Amino acid sequence: MASSPPPRRSFRDFTLADMIDFIDLQLDETNYLYWRSKMELDLPRHNMLQYIDPKVPIPPTETLDCTTNKLIPNPKYEEWIKVDQYILFQFIRTISEPVILSQISGFKTSREVWLHLEKSFFDQHSFRVPELQHQLLTLRK
């Protein structure tokens, strides 16, 4: 029998222990892939992977009230933004390099930070691939 995913937690369900336990690795310019893999393990454990996944839509900020036929603040968005800000705080808390922090300072969501870091570090690593291949070939000779 397949196990069901853990129930979705609301922001109210988080404790100080969750915040401390979330991630203990400081991101710097040398360990992005390791930091990312730890985040990819921890986010699902807290049922938060959808917050950084660009395929998962962010809830709309407003919803239609069926009784008044007017737009009202969307409670799903309000809950989403609280959890997202928690994740964003955790990301910032784990970044030790001032250069990296300055690059992400204008971003408002954890998804924006995640995608920026991914692009920055993967671009940086792909740029080095030919250089590393050349070094490997010269070592073999």
d(CA 93, CA 97): 11
Judged against a pLDDT cut of 70, whether residue 116 lies above it is answered with yes
Structural domain total, the chain: 1
- Find the domain containing 28 and state its range: 17-140
pTM: 0.73
- Within a domain: 99: yes
- The answer to whether residue 135 is domain-embedded is yes
Res 17: pLDDT: 52
* Mean pLDDT lowest among 28-37, 97-106, 127-136: 127-136
Contact 101, 95 (CB under 8 A): yes
For the stretch 27-84, pLDDT in tens is: 988 899 999 999 998 899 888 999 999 999 999 999 999 999 999 999 999 999 999 9
pLDDT attached to residue 96: 86
